[in-house]
Structure 1
Amino acid sequence: MILEICCGDIDSVGAALTGGAGRIELCCGLEAGGLTPSAGLLEQALWKSRRLMSPVPVNVLVRPRPGDFLYSDKELSQCVQDTAYAVGCQADGIVFGALTSEGEIDEYACEKVIDAIRQTTLPEQKVSMTFHRAFDMCRDPFEALETAVRLGFDRILTSGQAPTAEAGIELIAELKARADGRISIMPGAGVTPENIRRIVDATGVTEIHASAKERVASKMRFRRENVGMGSGEADEYSRFVTSAAIVKQLVKSAHQDLLF
């Protein structure tokens, strides 16, 4: 069982490694569903992982903006450049997804990113490819499954087209059965120490994705409460970070038998 932890900052990367994560999905902007991480965050995360006796793979999310997954030519060019940079930094995988306006996987966009991976990968380098939760916005999940297989993706990250992976168990299990070993199905969204075992046992998956996040308060003593940096609704003096303790609980729960 591989537990992938989504990390949005360098402290979260450290917490995920301390907690025993089997893989990291690196991004930023978790409040927007995840966006491409900065060059500095990417290089620091890879350094943290590589200095371990048993390095933990770091997969990099490539998503140029919040919102839908219908990308313009300029946005796609940005994705291609970000992909090439990440692979050139020795990232272990790329996490990407794009859709057409009709809700199908955008094969052209995916092929451009896949080409960037192939052209940048060194002979001794292995770079995995994950189709991310854009899959959950697809019109037909079974058609999208076959497209992802044909394109050469290694795994699909999905909540089963439901608000959480627990709510999407039925579809996740069906996708796993239809994949029949051709591609890995990785549940994600709302995965907790309390439900991870149920999701794994009900679907038969061998990898699962979680954020293991908790809210932490700012250490700022002086505060200007009436000024916001974004929409004005966000709390500027707290943020979500990965918790090493929650990661440890997830690892423990994922590897123990159900009690019911």
Structure 2
Amino acid sequence: MKTLEIAVFNIESALLAQSAGADRIELCENPFDGGTTPSYGTLKSISEKIQIPVFPIIRPRGGDFLYSDDEFEVMKQDLIMIKSLGFKGAVIGLLNADGHIDTIRTKELVDLAADMEITFHRAFDRCIDPLQSLEDVIATGCKRILTSGQKPNVNDALPLITQLIKKADNRIIILPGSGVRAQKLSILFEETGASECHSSARMEATTKMQFIVESMNENLTSTLVDENEVIAMKKITQSFKN
């Protein structure tokens, strides 16, 4: 059957994703920054409570994917920490200023990860030439590329996803993500031939606070995984055979 990866932004969502049938978790924090490296406390707790594979993201900040030397040093130290906690994989993405893949530093992280499985994330969707970048990422030793096909919603980029999968020719896994929901998941698999899919199955959870200072005018909602959506997507992945 197909593989279902769920992106989560807190430990409660990780537990929900696991109980709903996710095959793998991408672990991030700060959803409104597009996902950044989780705290040590989150990493440690999840390494102890989650049994399915968890791939933490290595991203020191939001914004672009052009990193300074100091930021790259932070990424290396975070990867070493994640490896020491026993995680089987991690998620990275680095670009040069001209829009090409930063192959030198990507390969350095892949080599540092050793036997960990490395996914190159949606920095790929900001590259200048996706077909050439596919070859560049393969050359670094990454095992997977998470991509929306250079569109905000992957359902609008199925031709490019299909082209990438064909060109990859089983040398690397193309992981379609962004806007993936149960409603169109079968179409994504049927049209592209993808073996995996990625979704945050995101919902907004309201605060459980009983007392709120109204004059602060704050948004106290938080991001949570929609367990029912994960269950629905899992049923669809189980209906397919790779």
TM range, smaller chain: over 0.9
Establish whether residue 93 from structure 1 lines up as the match of residue 95 from structure 2: no
Q: Secondary structure at the match of 2:178?
A: coil
Normalising by structure 2, we get a TM-score of 0.95
Aligned equivalents of 1:144, 1:84: Cα separation in 2: 26
Detail structure 1 runs of 4+ shifted over 6 Å in the superposition.
none
1:142-181: per-residue Cα shift (whole Å, max 9, x none)?
1100001111110000000011111111100000000000
2:64 to 61, 64, 68: 68
Number of matched pairs: 239
Aligned equivalents of 2:67, 2:161: Cα separation in 1: 26
1:249 to 182, 207, 232: 232
Alignment of 1:1-260 (within 5 A): 1-49=2-50, 55-118=51-114, 126-227=115-216, 236-256=219-239
**Which residue identity is paired with 1:18?**
S
Aligned equivalents of 1:5, 1:225: Cα separation in 2: 34
Give the match for residue 232 of structure 1: none
Q: Following TM superposition, by how much is the alpha carbon of 1:116 offset from its aligned partner in structure 2, in angstroms?
A: 2.1
Q: Secondary structure at the match of 1:79?
A: helix
More helix by share: 2
Aligned equivalents of 1:111, 1:150: Cα separation in 2: 8
1:161-204: per-residue Cα shift (whole Å, max 9, x none)?
01111111110000000000000000000001101111111110
1:54-82: per-residue Cα shift (whole Å, max 9, x none)?
x3101110001000000000000000000
**Which residue identity is paired with 1:108?**
I
Segments of 5+ residues of structure 2 without an aligned counterpart are: none
Segments of 5+ residues of structure 1 without an aligned counterpart are: 50-54, 119-125, 229-234
8 Å contact from structure 2 (residues 107, 141) kept in 1 = no
Q: Following TM superposition, by how much is the alpha carbon of 1:109 offset from its aligned partner in structure 2, in angstroms?
A: 1.8
Q: Following TM superposition, by how much is the alpha carbon of 1:226 offset from its aligned partner in structure 2, in angstroms?
A: 4.1
Aligned equivalents of 1:227, 1:134: Cα separation in 2: 36
**Which residue identity is paired with 1:214?**
M
8 Å contact from structure 1 (residues 59, 92) kept in 2 = yes
Aligned equivalents of 1:169, 1:83: Cα separation in 2: 32
**Which residue identity is paired with 1:15?**
L
Q: Secondary structure at the match of 1:71?
A: coil
**Which residue identity is paired with 1:61?**
I
Q: Secondary structure at the match of 2:156?
A: coil
**Which residue identity is paired with 1:69?**
F
Q: Following TM superposition, by how much is the alpha carbon of 1:48 offset from its aligned partner in structure 2, in angstroms?
A: 1.3
Aligned equivalents of 2:82, 2:32: Cα separation in 1: 22
Q: Following TM superposition, by how much is the alpha carbon of 1:117 offset from its aligned partner in structure 2, in angstroms?
A: 1.1
**Which residue identity is paired with 1:185?**
I
**Which residue identity is paired with 1:94?**
A
